[in-house]
A and B are shown apart, each in its own frame.
Chain A
Amino acid sequence: MRGARVARLFPDPASANGRNGDGDGDRVNDFAFKVGTVNGTGSASANSLLLQSIFRMGIPVTGKNVFPSNIQGLPTWYEIRVSRDGWTARTPDFDLIVAMNPATHERDIAEVRSGGWLLHDSSWPLDASLLRDDVTFIGIPLGRMCVEAFSGGRERTLMKNIAYAGALAALIDLDLDVVKDAIRAEFAKKPKSIDSNFLALHLGYDYAKANFACPLPIRLERMDATRGHVLMDGNTAAALGCVYAGATVGAWYPITPATSLMDAFGRFCARYRVDAGTGERRYCIVQAEDELAAAGVVIGAGWAGARAFTPTAGPGISLMGEFIGLAYYTEIPAVFFDVQRTGPSTGMPTRTQQGDLLSIAYASHGDTKHVALFPADPAECFRFAVQAFDLAERFQTPVFVVSDLDIGMNDWMIPRLEWNDAWRPDRGEVLTAGQLQAMQRFSRYLDVDGDGVAARSLPGVDPKGAYFTRGSGHDSHAAYTEDADAYREIVDRLKVKLETAARAVPPPEIREREGAEMAIVALGGCNGAVLEAAARLAIDGIPLDYMRIRGFPFDVAVGEFLRAHDRVFVVEQNRDGQLRSLLQLETGIAGDRLISIRDYGGVPLSARAVMDGVTAQLAEVPA
């Protein structure tokens, strides 16, 4: 098999249950908590402060923002998982919940695990009906203290967030100096803000220390497991990949959750691509009137020889359909980032899903098929963004980098990104003026070496390279045709081209486990949960081989892996099992071998969902 076998980033959990490793019952560096607030009140910076401070204590940590499609006033949550074993998946088991939003008190209190803790603002009494016997309630008068300490509604609201961060620091033993350093770095240019933040931090911290037994049994201890890593979101990483790949034209229409990709591209370009003397930009960003236009700009720029891309989400892909087909048939390089969100239709714009797999694989009318890359984390968003431009130019076709809201917008702990200065872009077969002059006749769509790819010419280079690009029927000389044979010649070659591309996309990542007869298959953002689930299932006596698909059209190794296992669990985040369907369609594997495990409610996948899915299926179908 050609699949890449890779070493595990983190070892399996040390103990059988992966938790409660300490003799005294403390859960050191292995717990999850969640903060429930109202959006638009400034809690995001407090939550980010918590995440960064834990990370800087050397402890593996993941943050998931579960937010509404709204600017101000609706419930929003931030989930932080601390995992000394390095598991990155979301967990639905919360040891502690900070319930700052009265509108969600009932739900938040219900979600705390039995034996857990609930931190609330005791400035106002909690409804007695909400109390639970199996949960410890920690009331801290955050609102009242901030009203007394600060003036002005805005500062009082903002500082309440920093105050709960301070209280948490005391409760879970977060190093206050680390938090303060982070605040100093954040407000380096606003010394006044530093003072306010420190004051608020201590309001919560000191009150908790004085009134509760700190720390709780869920607590932090310095580790050295984040060295060489950074916290980064996938959209930022993808944007950085575009910059490093040499993309110069970006066109887009704002859409959640892809917007921050172009925001980041703009920021990086402002930093790296503006001439210090003249202010001239070595890039052009076009905020288009809609996604159709964004696709058109990218295709126009690709046709003229620039590396061009557009970030979008499912609704944008739907609108771009006609242009995607044009680029496929006229063979123009174009890179599309689909940061998937929950569909169909407007769906849940701020929730995650893998619902666009089928629509991307065969986007647009007629016989089409597209190259797609499936990054599993921000590190791959960076690498695959770079690779996408190479593939697009090499194969002269649209290439999709398919991530999702969880990867795109949440901060992930990833190994530091690295760059090889010897790397040069693969611009594909582009004829120079000299090469064109030396040719007897230039035929735009004539494949001479059998890989399905024909050399192209760029406008303005040489009169001999001139040809007429058309989405209508054309022959190998780019001339209009309605002739059956000439038409078939072109579309059959496109098929060969996509078959060649299947050998160039990233191969599947295969992890074999001793004694495994069954397997699990997933792609993209499911990876963290599947890795964790597979490790825990192995401990429970269910060893599974694991294949993570990273590219489409599928590498031959994908079909081989499937055929080598009698039963394969296909884990994905959509209702209809789109990956499973795609595997059946493309590899011809019998459907009864592929057992679907689907989780599509819009929140990032958890290992528990995968494990429950596998064990339920095994209980139903006797081996």
Chain B
Amino acid sequence: MTSIAKPPVRHPALHPNALGLTRRDYEGAMSTLCAGCGHDSVTAAIVQACHELDVVPHRVAKLSGIGCSSKTTAYFLRQAHGFNSVHGRMPAVATGVSAANRELAIIGVSGDGDSLSIGLGQLCHAIRRNVRMLYVLENNGVYGLTKGQFSASADVGSKAKRGEQNRQKPIDPVLLALTLGATFVARSFSGDKAQLVPILKAAMRHEGFALVDVISPCVTFNDHEGSTKSYASTRERQHEVAPVDFVPITHEIRASYAPGEALTVPMHDGSLVRFRKLAEDYDPTDRDAAYATVKRVHEQGEVATGLLYLEEDAADMHALNHTIAAPLYDLPFETLCPGSAALEELMRELE
């Protein structure tokens, strides 16, 4: 989406949001990814989601690790601080950012190599801590930046460009997250913005760790016959278990969802997430059912997409820690330093 520089002229079709900002204000630097990369579509979806949610750009911290996916934090929200950290370790950095300033909205972007191999432990523990953040996993089954090695999410039988087949079983981040007790688990496809944008919006409003696994085909190394994460393959095999529509509280009144067709889940901030159920019995608040659905759909040779699981009442890192509401980085020194009298008292106790 940002592969070519755009003129500074405002297109009449660019609608300002409640902050008076247009979508252009949520964009970033020009992408240096390959033309047609799924990641650029994800970037566009993040831009749209932030614009539609009236996110204040500079109140966002965008973080990433290393890899093609991790370059994308430069391509959205140019008015936000960005941090391209070290390979697989973005979750720890995000944890620190959240610890220091809980008022920042944190968007982490990672890939399957970054998240499922070198950073698997970090992903797991960020889930355990329930750090409040959107964690986008741009999943293409391949190491792009080092030119085409299988990643840990490559399916058994998928072929690399040179023909060799992957024989190792993949790690499915969605199943992993469900097992670890993640409080928001979703999967989508970079080519399906209609589904992806509402999921991202819901994830950004979630008061905890929100994992969004996005199948994002690699046009250069993994978009060919034999790849299970190509555009063609994903489009063909996508199985939408729960179409989602995210409705911020300010736009709550909408008539397009007839009763009985949708399950409405209120978010903590009062906004609503709606699931249109393909299967009558799909319940996004049932962790076991979510796990079973993802497995069953996978066994059918399809990819379950949608907001698969949501747990609203789980305490996030700060609730678990009983952290003061004000951001720690900015607390007045006088409230942090016990002072000389306290030290004298302590010394007397030690004498």
A interface residue numbers (CB < 8 A to B): 56, 229-232, 240, 243-246, 248-249, 251, 268, 271-275, 279-286, 288-290, 292-306, 308, 322-323, 326, 416-421, 424-425, 457-463, 465-472, 480
Contacts and interface: CB of A to CB of B under 8 A. Distances in A.
Given A280-B323, A303-B97, A419-B339, A463 B58 contact: yes
A284 B86 contact: no
A462 B124 CA distance: 33
Interface residues of B, number: 61
Interface of B: 29, 57-59, 61, 63, 73-74, 78-86, 89, 91-101, 103-104, 121-122, 124-125, 129, 317-318, 321-325, 328-331, 333, 335-340, 342-344, 346-347, 350-351
Given A246-B336, A273-B336, A280-B323, A300 B100 contact: yes
Given A281-B321, A288-B125, A471-B85, A463 B79 contact: yes
A272 B331 CA distance: 14
30 contacts: A240-B346, A243-B338, A248-B331, A251-B92, A279-B322, A281-B322, A282-B328, A282-B336, A283-B328, A292-B92, A295-B92, A296-B89, A296-B91, A296-B122, A299-B93, A300-B94, A300-B96, A300-B99, A301-B96, A303-B93, A326-B86, A417-B343, A418-B343, A459-B58, A459-B97, A460-B103, A466-B58, A466-B78, A466-B79, A472-B84
Contacts of A282: 324, 328, 331, 335-336
B106 to A, nearest CB: 10
A280 B320 CA distance: 11
A393 to B, nearest CB: 11
Contacts of A461: 58
B84 A470 contact: yes
A469 B121 contact: no
B84 A417 contact: no
Contact of A289 (B61, B124, B321, B340): B124
A323 B80 contact: no
Of the candidates B91, B103, B324, B328, the one having the most CB atoms from chain A within 10 angstroms of its own CB is B328
Nearest to B340: A419
Contacts of B97: 300-301, 303-304, 459
A305 B84 contact: no
Contact of B340 (A302, A420, A462, A471): A420
Nearest to B124: A289
A443 B20 CA distance: 27
B322 A246 contact: no
Of the candidates A56, A284, A285, the one having the most CB atoms from chain B within 10 angstroms of its own CB is A284
A459 B60 CA distance: 8
B341 to A, nearest CB: 8
The 5 closest A-B pairs by CB, nearest first: A300-B96, A296-B92, A306-B100, A459-B81, A305-B329
B61 A459 contact: yes
Contacts of B94: 300
B57 A304 contact: no
A468 B79 contact: no
Contacts of A230: 347, 350-351
A415 to B, nearest CB: 10
B92 A297 contact: yes
A251 B96 contact: yes
A468 B73 CA distance: 9
Given A284-B321, A288-B92, A418-B343, A460 B58 contact: yes
Of the candidates A246, A288, A466, the one having the most CB atoms from chain B within 10 angstroms of its own CB is A466
A418 B345 CA distance: 11
A249 B328 contact: yes
Contact of B99 (A286, A421, A469): A286
A162 B91 CA distance: 49
A285 B328 CA distance: 12
Contact of B81 (A231, A279, A469): A469
Contacts of A302: 96, 100
A234 to B, nearest CB: 14
Contacts of A273: 336
B34 to A, nearest CB: 17
A244 B323 CA distance: 19
Of the candidates A283, A288, A293, A424, the one having the most CB atoms from chain B within 10 angstroms of its own CB is A293
Contacts of B85: 296, 299-300, 326, 469, 471
Nearest to B96: A300
B145 to A, nearest CB: 11
Contacts of A471: 84-86
Given A280-B325, A424-B333, A305 B86 contact: no
A304 B347 contact: no
Of the candidates B98, B344, B351, the one having the most CB atoms from chain A within 10 angstroms of its own CB is B351
A418 B347 CA distance: 9
A563 B135 CA distance: 57
B96 to A, nearest CB: 2
A467 B81 CA distance: 5
Given A248-B329, A249-B99, A288-B125, A275 B82 contact: no
B100 A244 contact: no
Contact of A304 (B78, B124, B323, B329): B329
Contacts of A288: 92, 95, 125
Nearest to A236: B350
B83 A286 contact: no
Of the candidates B81, B121, B318, the one having the most CB atoms from chain A within 10 angstroms of its own CB is B81
A617 B257 CA distance: 90
Contacts of A229: 351
A418 B341 CA distance: 9
B121 A308 contact: no
A503 to B, nearest CB: 25
Given A280-B323, A289-B122, A292-B89, A468 B82 contact: yes
B182 to A, nearest CB: 16
A264 to B, nearest CB: 11
A424 B336 CA distance: 11
A293 B90 CA distance: 9
A271 B346 CA distance: 11
A240 B344 CA distance: 13
Contacts of B329: 248, 301, 304-306, 458
A286 B328 CA distance: 14
Given A296-B89, A467-B81, A249 B96 contact: yes
Contacts of B325: 280
Contact of B342 (A272, A292, A457, A458): A272
Nearest to B343: A419
B104 A459 contact: yes
Contacts of B79: 463, 466
Contacts of B73: 468
A284 B336 contact: no
B99 A306 contact: yes
Nearest to A55: B351
A305 B336 contact: no
Contacts of A300: 63, 83, 85, 92-100
A297 B96 contact: yes
A192 B16 CA distance: 74
Contacts of B80: 459, 466
Given A296-B96, A297-B99, A299-B96, A284 B89 contact: no
A446 to B, nearest CB: 17
Contacts of B350: 230-232
B100 A293 contact: no
A225 to B, nearest CB: 13
A463 B100 contact: no
